[in-house]
Amino acid sequence: PFNPITKINYEISEFGLVNISIYDLNGRLINTLINENLNPGNYYSLWKGINNNGNFVSSGIYITVLKLGTNKQQIGKMVLLK
């Protein structure tokens, strides 16, 4: 659980296009945090509980999807409590 900001840590093992997106439980895209080529290494991204329009989202469960290229994907769950 987090409020109002959460830190998403991730590690990239090879150079490639990295995309980190937040979805609600209905599968709607809420926010895209990262969509860029990155070198191998450890990184983090902050999500402040806002959507792509800059509006705060409601309390609830959100899904984090990290994609590296087209072959690798990792999914996580987080809970926003207000």
Model confidence pLDDT, tens digit, residues 30-48: 999 999 999 999 999 999 9
Please give the backbone phi and psi of residue 77, each rounded to the nearest 5 degrees, phi first: -125, 140
pLDDT of residue 71: 83
Give pTM, 2 decimals. 0.91
User: In 10 A of CB 20, how many CB atoms?
Assistant: 21
Q: Tell me the mean pLDDT in the region 66-70.
A: 91
More confident site: 37 or 72: 37
Strands 41-47 and 29-38: unpaired
Other CB atoms within a 10 A radius of the CB of residue 18 amount to 21
